[in-house]
Structure formats: C-alpha cells, structure tokens
C-alpha cells in the first residue's frame, strides 16, 4: 500500500521523496549560459553560418598526430585521431565520432546530412555513408576551422565514467570518496533537452537521468573497480526509482564511453545476475553530460549531512 501511495505521489508531483526533500531549503538558482570562445569572422562563417572552408586549405586535412579533436567554439571532444583517415577529399575525414558528441540533421539542401557539435550546435560539416572507404563505411567530412586539436601527450592521464543511480547527491557522496577518483560532477544526461535545468528534469519530460561524471586516475584504479562500486552503492534492481525517489530521472544506467567500458559493465551485470540479482540497469552509449546547477555539486559535503537513500552493500 505504501508503495502504491509512493507511486501516486511520484507521478502526480515532481521530485518528491528522500533526497529531494532537501531541495525545499535550497534557493532556486538559474544555470549559467554555456561559455563560448569568441570566433573570428572566418570561423563564424563556417561554425555559425554553416559555410564550408575551401578544400585542401584546412590545417588538419593532412595532419596525423595522435590526440583529440575538440569543438572550436565550446571545447567539447568530437573525434579521435584513431578514427581519422585520408579520404583524399580535401577535408579532415573521420569514420567514427566520440559517442554522443556529434548531432546529425538533414541539411538545408534537403539531401545531405549535416553534422553539428552536440553540445553547442556548432556546424562541423557533413556525414556520408556507403562510400566503402573504410570498414565502418562512414565519412565525417569536417571543416578544420570548426575544430581545435589537443595532442595526446598533453592530455592528463585520466579516464571518465558516467553513471545514473538515483538521486545524484547520494551517488556523488560515495563515488568521490573512492580510491583513485580525482573529481566528480553531478548533472543530467541521456535525454533530449539541451542545457536542462533541475526543474525541467524533475518535471519528467526531458528524458534525462540524474547522473554523475566520475574522473579517475587509471594508474590508481580501474573502470571495473569504479563500476563495481557504482553497483554496490545503489540498488540496480529498482526500476524507475531509487529508495524513496520515484521518477524516470532516477533510473539506473551506465553510460559507456567506449567498447571496453561497455564490455566491463555487461560482465559485471552478468556476475550480479548469476548471484540472483534481477538487475534492471540500462547500458547505453554516453551522450552529452550537462553539468547540474552549482548547488547540486557536492551537496552532502556542503550540507554537512549524510545520504539516507544510498548506502554501501557488498554485492560482488
């Protein structure tokens, strides 16, 4: 009966229940606008006005260093050098993207598929399929001027994991204490609304999950260790809720950033199932992680209290 009552409350209101009650004493704060780099007129012509740089002129067309290509305007990682190939077309070409980094839409010509930075909407170029140029049969044809390059040797030696396991305050409380974890942020991911606010997510029509981005040092821990902890500090058998918090934003999910993370996650879920747990955790490719408002970050530390919707349970 209590459960039915909770479902009714969960459906009829927004963000009621355990952790969320703490929100009552939180002042509503508006989320700051995304910070964009100031563009030169040439950059603006391509990135904003969807122009095209002349072929064989861009700085990355014949450029093969190891590293990551990021959005010129907002800095979001877009492509890896491992996926770059020589298509001979005059523009940098990639046969794959960083999961969730690139948005596709029908070009204004009605024929081609335009590609844009999923975070800020910067025009990148076009994507073509079925040309048979690589095994992946895909060519992202990208303007050099839409990107910056970060050499692999200058990238910090870190890795990132993204999880959703109910109220993000509680998940962060435990994850940030884990060995090898260098930083954590809470936010929203998996849905379809850009730059969502907490209120929009709570209202239940953004598709987003309350999630955490965990940055860790792979020389001190592993993705498997971090993911194991995730499965032990929330209940992966609870569907659409976590403890007293009901609503689609509290679904349990792992957002993998590469095939290795996907494999490890699926292995851990199999192990749990073999131990009798009816795991409902979803395993999905990572999408853009929208950092939540400042007052949600490190919530329990600032409040000086402890979560009661999450706790450690030894499951492996």
As a whole number of angstroms, the distance between CA 285 and CA 101 comes to 11
Q: Which is nearer to Zn ion, 101 or 309 (CB)?
A: 101
Q: Which is nearer to Zn ion, 69 or 163 (CB)?
A: 69
The strand pairing partners of 252, in sequence order, are: 165
Q: Identify residues 46-75 at the interface with Zn ion (CB under 5 A).
A: 71, 73-74
Compute the residue count for the chain. 316
Among residues 117, 167, 202, 309, which one is catalytic? 167
Q: Which is nearer to Zn ion, 115 or 181 (CB)?
A: 115
- Give the shortest CB-34-to-Zn ion separation in angstroms: 8
Measured in degrees and rounded to the nearest 5, phi and psi for residue 241 equal: -160, 170
- Give the shortest CB-242-to-Zn ion separation in angstroms: 32
Query: Is 122 a residue that touches Zn ion (CB under 5 A)?
Result: yes
Query: Is 117 a residue that touches Zn ion (CB under 5 A)?
Result: yes
- Give the shortest CB-74-to-Zn ion separation in angstroms: 3
- Give the shortest CB-184-to-Zn ion separation in angstroms: 23
Select from 120, 167, 253, 268 the one that contacts Zn ion (CB under 5 A).
120
Among residues 71, 117, 120, 141, which one is catalytic? 141
Query: Is 102 a residue that touches Zn ion (CB under 5 A)?
Result: no
- ∠ CA(258), CA(260), CA(266), 5° rounding? 105
Q: Catalytic residue at 141? A: yes
Q: Which is nearer to Zn ion, 71 or 212 (CB)?
A: 71
Per-residue CA distances from 26 to 29, 125, 254, 298 (Å): 9, 43, 28, 14
DSSP 233-296: HS-TT-SSEETTEESGGG-EEEEESSHHHHHHHHHHHHHHHHTT-----EEEE----EEPPGGG
CA 210 from chain centre, in angstroms, equals: 11
Q: Which residues bind Zn ion (CB under 5 A)?
A: 71, 73-74, 76, 117, 119-120, 122
| Active site residue ranges | 141, 167
């Amino acid at each position: 009966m209590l459960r039915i009552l909770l479902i009714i409350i969960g459906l009829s209101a927004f963000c009621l229940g355990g952790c969320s009650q703490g929100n009552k004493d939180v002042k509503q704060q508006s989320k700051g606008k995304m910070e964009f780099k100031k563009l030169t007129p040439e950059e603006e012509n391509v990135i904003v006005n969807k122009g095209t740089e002349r072929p064989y002129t861009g700085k990355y067309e014949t450029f093969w260093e190891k590293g990551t290509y990021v959005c010129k305007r907002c800095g979001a990682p877009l492509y890896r050098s491992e996926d770059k190939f020589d298509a001979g077309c005059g523009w940098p070409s990639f046969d794959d993207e960083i999961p969730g980094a690139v948005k596709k839409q029908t070009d204004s010509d009605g024929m081609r598929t335009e590609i844009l930075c999923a975070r800020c909407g910067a025009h990148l170029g076009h994507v073509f399929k079925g040309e048979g140029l690589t095994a992946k049969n895909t060519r992202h044809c990208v303007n050099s001027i839409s990107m910056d390059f970060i050499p692999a040797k200058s990238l910090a030696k870190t890795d990132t994991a993204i999880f959703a396991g109910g109220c993000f305050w509680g998940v962060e409380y435990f994850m940030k204490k884990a060995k090898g974890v260098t930083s954590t942020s809470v936010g929203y991911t998996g849905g379809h609304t850009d730059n969502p606010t907490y209120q929009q997510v709570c209202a239940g029509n953004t598709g987003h999950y309350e999630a955490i981005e965990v940055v860790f040092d792979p020389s001190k821990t592993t993705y498997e260790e971090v993911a194991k902890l995730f499965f032990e500090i929330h209940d992966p058998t609870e569907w659409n809720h976590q403890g007293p918090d009901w609503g689609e934003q509290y679904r349990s999910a792992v957002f993998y950033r590469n095939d290795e993370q996907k494999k490890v996650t699926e292995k851990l879920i199999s192990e749990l199932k073999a131990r009798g747990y009816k795991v409902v955790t979803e395993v999905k490719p990572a999408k853009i992680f929208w950092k939540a408002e400042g007052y949600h970050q490190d919530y329990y530390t600032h409040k000086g209290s402890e979560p009661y919707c999450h706790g450690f349970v030894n499951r492996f």
